[in-house]
Structure 1
């Protein structure tokens, strides 16, 4: 149990540092679309979010790796769209589809449905410029 708490604390610290990393001029905005109780799943609460990734830099982004943590508990494997999921025990990383770039000053939107109503912690891990 101590190991899990320590690991979660480390992930939180990493996400805080990465979210405030000026190395990547990228912003991530969450927008709550809605939430509901799902009677077919024992009254569990779910929420849908739209995520907008904005390239605030002057170079086009060819690929971006967005990290997350245990807060990204998707409803099921079909509950995320417009990104590719690279996962381990949780959803670990999100990347753009291979055909998608984000031009300088432009944005890209994807979405997910998650357990509960709190948004998932998302942070930029790395950026590859075109």
Structure 2
């Protein structure tokens, strides 16, 4: 019984440590630039700047940012400084332009205009280091 309790305690400690360290040392910060009503379309739109920060000690050559159906762009011209890869019904993921790296300790900003006032769900799917 003591060994089972000890094992469970160790697994619990490991799960807390694993949960506090992300798989990649990259953060995604949403900065609301503004929200407005478009009377001609009867829609609310919001503009966000997204800051990707490399907290690691290696340069990032490519990063894959996943999203979901919450990433409803105003139109095809409403996202900049990233490349969009479309899925069957919505944006599947975003990647850096081929000429762009994110140096260790540096950040990179891209932006978009989205339907509504809530930011899109964005998450790091993969990182390729230089």
TM-score by length of 1: 0.83
Task: Please state how far the C-alpha of 1:94 moved relative to its aligned partner.
Answer: 0.2
Following TM superposition, where does structure 1 have runs of at least 4 consecutive aligned residues deviating by more than 2 angstroms?
none
**Which of 1 and 2 has greater Rg?**
2
Q: What residue in structure 2 maps to residue 51 of structure 1?
A: 50
Q: What residue in structure 1 maps to residue 128 of structure 2?
A: 128
Residue 21 to residue 116, structure 1, CA distance change in 2 (3 Å): farther
Q: Output the CA distance in 2 between the equivalents of 1:28 and 1:22.
A: 12
Note the 1:7-86 alignment, pairs <5 A. 22-41=22-41, 43-86=42-85
SS at match of 2:40: helix
CA RMSD in angstroms comes to 1.0
TM-score by length of 2: 0.83
SS at match of 1:58: coil
| Structure 2 unaligned blocks of 5 or more | 1-19
Aligned length: 110
Task: Please state how far the C-alpha of 1:40 moved relative to its aligned partner.
Answer: 1.6
Asked whether 1:90 is paired with 2:90, we answer yes
